[in-house]
């Protein structure tokens, strides 16, 4: 039996932004542990393409789930419940990370990043709050933040501000829900080997003239282990927080970054 197999049997998890690199790794880990999983995203075709290898009887797809649109989230929440019932484990993973110097960050870019990376966590969590609270000690809210939510980085001021907001929201909500048994935590990956990083590498190449290998090496150097984080390592942290053994862990922002950010 694989590690963690069966420990989430009978639980229903929902993952936003599920078709991305980290999102899909989280989905696969939750399924392996026995959970039923609802995957959400805006693009039905992309969701279907990315989930062909998953067991059809354990997954449900909810498309047109725009995490920045309050009405779409409400409609999507009802569709999610229609699949496997109320949500026990909510994983807020949707996000994006465009980069620009601060003086070239437009108001449109700023507003879009705040909406996608921060306000979305508010909207989605509020929509599923009745479900998670009803789950009591089995209720879990896990927000995928970033090491950018724990420190600062150049050229991503909007992203860093949004992710700091996610960490603050996580801590406040954890205190509000502490007596209910529901736990609320944030997982903060460092530079992770996903399509998002591939796009960052492409931007670095275009702006600096460095090769893709040089750009990836620059990003990896931020990690004291000298490498990019594997999405499965992020998923492992989520799986631990979702399980019964983490019932006393709440209000935490856990860095998965090879020692890049140290918290005490």
Nearest-CA neighbor of 232 among 256, 248, 212, 253? 256
Hey, what are 119's tokens? 């306000």
Please answer whether residues 238 and 29 qualify as being in contact, where contact means their C-beta atoms are separated by less than 8 angstroms.
Answer: yes
Give the Å distances, CA to CA, from 134 to 33, 87, 128: 21, 9, 10
Q: Which residue in 65, 159, 191, 240 is the catalytic one?
A: 159
Is 159 one of the annotated active-site residues of the chain? yes
Neighbours of 112 (CB within 10 A): 15
The β-bridge partners of 187 are 144, 254
Catalytic residues, by residue number, are 159
């Amino acid at each position: 039996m694989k590690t963690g197999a069966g420990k989430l049997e009978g639980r229903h998890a929902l993952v936003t932004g599920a078709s991305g690199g980290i999102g899909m790794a989280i989905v696969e880990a939750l399924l392996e542990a026995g959970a039923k999983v609802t995957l959400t995203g805006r693009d039905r075709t992309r969701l279907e393409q990315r989930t062909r290898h998953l067991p059809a009887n354990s997954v449900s797809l909810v498309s047109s789930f725009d995490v920045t649109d309050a009405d779409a989230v409400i409609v999507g929440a009802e569709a999610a419940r229609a699949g496997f019932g109320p949500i026990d484990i909510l994983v807020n993973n949707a996000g994006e990370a465009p980069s620009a110097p601060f003086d070239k960050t437009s108001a449109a870019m700023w507003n879009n990043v705040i909406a996608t990376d921060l306000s979305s966590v508010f909207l989605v969590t509020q929509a599923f709050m009745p479900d998670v609270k009803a789950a009591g000690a089995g209720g879990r809210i896990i927000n995928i933040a970033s090491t950018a939510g724990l420190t600062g980085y150049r050229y991503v001021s909007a992203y860093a501000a949004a992710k700091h907001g996610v960490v603050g929201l996580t801590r406040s909500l954890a205190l509000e829900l502490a007596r209910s048994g529901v736990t609320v935590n944030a997982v903060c990956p460092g530079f992770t080997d996903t399509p998002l990083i591939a796009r960052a590498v492409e931007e670095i190449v275009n702006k600096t003239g460095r090769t893709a290998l040089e750009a990836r090496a620059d990003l990896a150097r931020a990690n004291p282990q000298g490498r990019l984080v594997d999405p499965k390592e992020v998923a492992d942290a989520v799986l631990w927080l979702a399980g019964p053994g983490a019932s006393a862990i709440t209000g935490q922002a856990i860095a998965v970054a090879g020692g890049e950010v140290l918290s005490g």
